[in-house]
Structures are given as C-alpha cells and as structure tokens.
Amino acid sequence: MYLVSYDITSDKRRRKIAKELENYGRRVQYSVFECELDKARFSQLYKKLVLLMEGEAEGNIRIYTICVNCIEKLMTIGLPRENYPEDEDLIII
C-alpha cells in the first residue's frame, strides 16, 4: 500500500492531482490517499503525478510505502473516513 499526500498551492493543479489519485486509491483525509497498488499500477500513477507537477514552483507530493506488517498495525482514532457525512466540514487533528 502507498500513502500519498500533497500540499499544492495552485487550485487547478491540486484538483487535477486529487482527481488522478481518486482513480488509484481512496481519500482518507482532504489531501491524503491510500492506494493499494501493484508495482505496475504504482509506476503508472507515479509517472502521471510527475507530469502533473511539471513546472510547479511550490508545493509537493509525498509518497510513503506501507508494508503489509505496518498495514496490520494501522490505527484510526474516531470514525473511519467512509463514515463521515459528505456535507459536513471536518477538522481532523
């Protein structure tokens, strides 16, 4: 599994990146996605993200590899993201 987070200042670029990530994983925070991908799909996603960041002077995308053993140790405090009402603003600390 890969954990992908981004901090992008451009609204247009940020929307494009989020839309692309929605094709590969599930959003767990506003700018954080969990992506369960094999190596080929990850490579495909990585290349697309590199292209989307071309020319960006500010911001970044961070990708963390999470091993199987670490996935088993994943802890969530509060409701999992899929249980949140879509029309409410949430602040998660």
User: Each residue of 10-35: pLDDT tens digit?
Assistant: 999 999 999 999 999 999 999 999 99
Residues 6+ apart with CB under 8 A from 26: 33, 34, 35, 81, 82
The span from the first CA to the last CA of the chain, in angstroms, equals: 23
Task: Tell me how far apart the alpha carbons of residues 41 and 63 are, in angstroms, rounded to a whole number.
Answer: 14
The arithmetic mean of pLDDT across residues 50-79, rounded, is 88
Helices (H) and strands (E) in the chain, counts: 3, 4
C-alpha distances (whole Å) from 5 to each of 44, 87 are 17, 22
Q: Higher confidence at residue 53 or residue 93?
A: 53
Domain residue extents for the chain: 2-72
Residue 73 reports pLDDT greater than 80: yes
CATH, range 2-72: 3.30.70.240
